[in-house]
Chain A
Amino acid sequence: GAVVSQHPSWVICKSGTSVKIECRSLDFQATTMFWYRQFPKQSLMLMATSNEGSKATYEQGVEKDKFLINHASLTLSTLTVTSAHPEDSSFYICSARKRAGYTDTQYFGPGTRLTVL
């Protein structure tokens, strides 16, 4: 199998604080992980691509200094929302890329619901 976990599954924080979300591939190594954001009843929007051992690649319009990504190992990527504000409240989903032979598949985590008060 290929399982991706996220922690925490939900978090509530005060405006101005920072929140860290972890994404782990439990039974495979992932050199590449992706972070998405999903607003209610909308699609997933790719925020950044996280590469193990190198800097993340951010999509246009995503603030690098606000959404810090660290992919320190082949099974863990973290997203830190710095100085969170209410407009950062959203559902954050990560996925991990697993390669098997000539194919590779993205496996998704269950998501983290962030609410900023």
Chain B
Amino acid sequence: AQRVTQPEKLLSVFKGAPVELKCNYSYSGSPELFWYVQYSRQRLQLLLRHISRESIKGFTADLNKGETSFHLKKPFAQEEDSAMYYCALRSGGYQKVTFGTGTKLQVIP
């Protein structure tokens, strides 16, 4: 069975402070990991995926297979980063995506 764990329901940081949203997963195969973001009153949208190794809006995430983690990081938080963030795992050919419970990021001005 696949599982995604986001231990923090709420993370509050000051503007300009570093951000790290934690995500751990359990899956027996080779997973694809994603971060989705949902801004207030907007639909869920893809932020980044581990295979792309990209930086989106200053956010990065590195897949650590040893620690089964895929933490989302940003060196300097901005107010517009305030949103709900979901870590997600996609498995194999079936393409089933499992979401974590989400972390609400609140950036304090």
Contact = CB atoms under 8 A, between A and B. Distances in A.
A105 interface: yes
B43 A42 contact: no
Contacts of A105: 46
A22 to B, nearest CB: 15
Contact of B97 (A34, A107, A110, A111): A34
A108 to B, nearest CB: 4
B95 A46 contact: no
A-B interface, 3 closest residue pairs, ranked by CB to CB distance from nearest: A108-B44, A43-B101, A110-B43
B31 to A, nearest CB: 15
A105 B97 CA distance: 11
B109 to A, nearest CB: 24
Nearest to A111: B43
Nearest to B4: A43
Interface of B: 42-46, 51, 86, 94-102
Interface of A: 32, 34, 42-46, 49, 93, 95, 97, 103-111
Contacts of B86: 43-44
Contacts of B43: 93, 108-111
Contact of B98 (A32, A46, A106, A107): A46
Contacts of B96: 46, 49
B8 to A, nearest CB: 13
A43 B46 contact: no
Contacts of A108: 43-45
Contacts of A93: 43-44
Contacts of A109: 43
A73 B102 CA distance: 32
Nearest to B52: A103
A103 B51 CA distance: 10
Contact of B102 (A34, A43, A97, A107): A43
A97 B95 contact: yes
Contacts of A45: 99
A106 B96 CA distance: 11
Contacts of A103: 51
B97 A46 contact: yes
